[in-house]
């Protein structure tokens, strides 16, 4: 995942486990009401059904490896996110209206991917 500065999902939970390894930057995770900042090299595990969200606090784009167990969440990310030219391409600049549209799309698709927005 490439996460732009200040980027990240709203609070949510799902019935599958999620693990993040920070490759570049710093990500602030809020998990069960507590905030923790994870820097490059750290791994954060989120158990199934645990309320959580994260935000890039690095001041520059961050990169993470996200693994979901069982698999399948990658399809949700493809349907909500924007395709880029290459793995090293920066995220596209979005207007406030485009950001709002992505959030609506994520909320509409969430139940299909066993996710509840909180």
pLDDT in tens, 52-97: 999 999 899 899 999 998 888 989 989 998 888 887 787 788 899 9
Which of the pair, 102 or 89, is modelled with greater confidence? 102
Q: What is the pTM of this model?
A: 0.85
CATH code (residue 97): 2.60.120.10
Q: For residue 24, what are the domain limits? A: 2-117
Q: Please state whether the peptide bond connecting residue 70 to the residue before it is cis, i.e. omega within 30 degrees of 0.
A: yes
Give the Cβ contact number of residue 83 at 10 Å: 7
Cα-based angle 48, 13, 38 (whole degrees, multiple of 5): 80
User: What is the tally of structural domains in the chain?
Assistant: 1
DSSP β-ladder status, 62-69 and 12-14 = unpaired
């Amino acid at each position: 995942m490439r996460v732009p500065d200040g980027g990240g999902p709203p609070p949510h939970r799902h019935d599958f486990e999620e693990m993040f390894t920070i490759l570049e930057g710093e990500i602030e995770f809020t998990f069960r009401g507590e905030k923790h900042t994870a820097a490059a090299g750290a791994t954060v595990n989120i158990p199934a059904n645990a309320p959580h969200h994260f935000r890039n606090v690095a001041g520059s784009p961050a990169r993470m490896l996200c693994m979901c167990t069982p698999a399948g969440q990658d399809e949700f990310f493809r349907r909500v996110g924007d395709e880029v030219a290459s793995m090293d391409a920066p995220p596209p600049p979005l207007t406030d209206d485009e950001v709002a549209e992505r959030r609506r799309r994520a909320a509409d698709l969430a139940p299909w991917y066993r996710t509840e927005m909180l």
